[in-house]
Structure 1
Amino acid sequence: MATINNAVGAINFVAMLLSIPIIGAGIWLATETDNSCVKILQWPVIILGILMLVVALAGFIGSFWRIPWLLIFYLIVMLILIILLASLVIFIYMVTVKGSGHLAPGRVYLEYHLNDYSGWLRQRVQASFKWNRIRNCLSSTSMCSELNQRYHFAQDFFNARISPIQSGCCKPPTECGYTFVNPTYWISPINTAADMDCLQWSNDQTQLCYTCDSCKAGLLANLKKEWRRADIILLITLVALIWVYLMGCCAFRNAKTEELFRKYEQGYV
C-alpha cells in the first residue's frame, strides 16, 4: 500500500511541475510589450497554471498523508482544469489561424491588413475606447525610437526585418508613397488616397501611425506570433498532463483495490 501511495504522490508531484510551464508561458506573455498593452491572454493562462499547481499540491498532500477525499478532489478538479486547458489550446489556435503579412515592392519587411485577422481578434482592437488605451500604452514604449537609432539610410531600413508592430505603427504604409527621411519621419506623400491610413500618418513622434488600421493589424500579427509560441508550450504540457492524470487514475484505482483486498483478508469485508 505504501508503495502505491508513493507512486501516486510522485505522479502528483510531476503534475505540480507541469504547472510551471503554464505559469511561465503566462508570465512571458505579460512581459511582451504588445501583450502587456492588450491584456487578453496572459492572466487566464497564469490563473489556470496557478489553479493546476494548487490542485496538484492537494493531490500530493492527499497521497502523502493518505487522505482519500483529497485525492478524489484532485481527480475531479484536475479533470476540469485539463478540459479548460484543452479548450484554451483549441481557442488560441482558432483565433490565430488567419492573418499574415504582405510583401511590398522594394521592401524586406511586410505590410499588414486588419481584415486578414479573425473577427474575435479585430473586436479586441477596433472599438475606440479599447484602442485608445492600447495606443497610449504602445506610444509610451521605445519600439519606434529604436528604429531611428538603428537605421540611418533608406535602403538599410527597406532591407530591415522589423517586427509587425513596428511595420504597422512606426511608419506609413508603403502604398502611400511617402519619402523616407528616417524610420519615423516621412515627407511628400504621392498617393494619400490609396488608403485611409495615408491620411492618418503624422510625423509627430507621439502620433505616427498609432491611429492607423495598419498599426492594429501589426499588433494582431505580433500577438498571433507570440500566442502561437505560447500555444505550443500549452499543447505539450496538456499532453503530458493527460498522461500524468491517467497514470494517477490507475494508481489511485490500484490503491483502492489493494485496500479492499487488505480489508477482505482481515475480515472487514
Structure 2
Amino acid sequence: MVRCSNSLIGTLNFLTFLLSIPVLFTGIWLSKQAHTECDRWLERPIIAFGVFLLLISLAGLIGACCHVRWLLWLYLVVMFMFILLLSAFSIFVFVVTIKGDGEELSGKGYKEYRLGNYSIMLQNRVNNPVAWNRMKSCLQSSQICFQFQKQYVKDNVHQFYNEKLSALQSGCCKPSNDCGFTYQSPTRWMKTGNVTHSNPDCDAWSNDPNIMCFNCQSCKAALLQNTKTDWRNVSIVNAIILIFLSIVYSIGCCAFRNIKKDNWKGY
C-alpha cells in the first residue's frame, strides 16, 4: 500500500501559511480604515482567524517536514476541534437563518420586512434595548437614509414605488405601506390625520432625519435580513473551508502514521 507523503501535508500547510498573511493584513487594514462602529465589527474575527491559520499551518508544516511527532499530533487535535467548531457553526447558521424574508407588495418594486418573520434568537438580539441602541447608532452614523434621499430625490410617487430598494432603505428610511402616508419625498411623508393604524411603526415614523424609522420594528427586521444574507454567504465559504480542512486533516493523519512507523523502525 502506497504511504501518504509527508511532503504533501507540508505543501498544503505552506499554502495555508501564505493564505494567512493576506487574511491577517486585511483585518489590520480594516481596523485602520474603520470610522464608525458599523465598520469595526468584522476586523477582530478576521485578525483572530488569520493568526489561527498562521500558527496551525506552521505547526503542521514543521511537524510533517521535520518529523516532529508531538507537534503533528497537536496540529491534528487542534485541526479536529476546529473542524467540529466550523461544523457546529454551519448547523447554527442554518437553524437561525431558515426563517425570515421580505414580503412582496402589490404594485411595489420593493419588499417590506416584519420582525415576527425571523427566528426568535435573532429577534431577541435586536429587541435588547442596549444592543439595539448601539446598532441604531451605527446605522445613523452610516448616513444610509441621507444617501437614500439623495439617490431618489427626483422620483415622483409612481417612480418611487417601482424602485428596487435595499432591505435597510425599505425598513429604516421610509414608513410602512400599512400607514398609508402621502409621499412628498423619499424621506418625507405626510401623516393622515385621525387615522388609527394597527402597525406600531406608523407612530414611530418621523420626518426628522435623525429619527426616520430607526425606532421601527421594520428597521430591526431589515437589519436581520442583512444579517441573514451575510450569514448565508459566510456559510457557503465555511462549507468550502470545511472540505479543504477535512482533506488536509486526512492527509495529516497519514503523515502522523508515517512518522509513527518510522519511529518504530528506528528501534
State how 1:136-155 maps to structure 2 within 5 Å.
136-151=137-152, 152-153=154-155, 154-155=157-158
For normalisation by structure 1, the TM-score amounts to 0.85
Matched pairs, number: 260
Match of 2:227 among 220, 223, 237: 223
Cα distance in structure 1, aligned partners of 2:35 and 2:177: 24
Letter in 2 for 1:36: C
Match of 2:200 among 196, 201, 223: 196
Cα distance in structure 1, aligned partners of 2:25 and 2:229: 17
SS in 2 for 1:186: strand
1:9–1:63: 8 Å Cα contact kept in structure 2? yes
Q: CA deviation at 1:177?
A: 0.5
SS in 2 for 1:210: coil
- Cα deviations across residues 172-210 of structure 1 (Å, max 9, x unaligned)? 001100111111111133755131000000000010000
1:34–1:138: 8 Å Cα contact kept in structure 2? no
Q: CA deviation at 1:240?
A: 1.2
SS in 1 for 2:132: helix
Q: CA deviation at 1:124?
A: 1.1
Cα distance in structure 2, aligned partners of 1:234 and 1:137: 27
- Cα deviations across residues 198-242 of structure 1 (Å, max 9, x unaligned)? 000000001000000000000000111111111101111111111
What does residue 36 of structure 1 align with?
Answer: 38
Match of 2:176 among 151, 173, 178: 173
Matched, 1:66 2:70: no
Letter in 2 for 1:160: E
What does residue 251 of structure 2 align with?
Answer: 247
Cα distance in structure 2, aligned partners of 1:162 and 1:239: 36
Letter in 1 for 2:56: V
State how 1:86-105 maps to structure 2 within 5 Å.
86-105=87-106
What does residue 116 of structure 1 align with?
Answer: 117
Q: Return 5+ residue gaps in structure 1 as ranges.
A: none
1:172–1:209: 8 Å Cα contact kept in structure 2? yes
What does residue 164 of structure 1 align with?
Answer: 167
Of stretches 56-65 and 209-218 in structure 1, the one that deviates more from structure 2 is 56-65
For normalisation by structure 2, the TM-score amounts to 0.85
Letter in 1 for 2:124: Q
CA RMSD of superposed structures (Å): 3.2
1:170–1:184: 8 Å Cα contact kept in structure 2? yes
Letter in 1 for 2:249: Y
Q: Return 5+ residue gaps in structure 2 as ranges.
A: none
Q: CA deviation at 1:155?
A: 2.2
2:27–2:46: 8 Å Cα contact kept in structure 1? yes
1:33–1:138: 8 Å Cα contact kept in structure 2? no
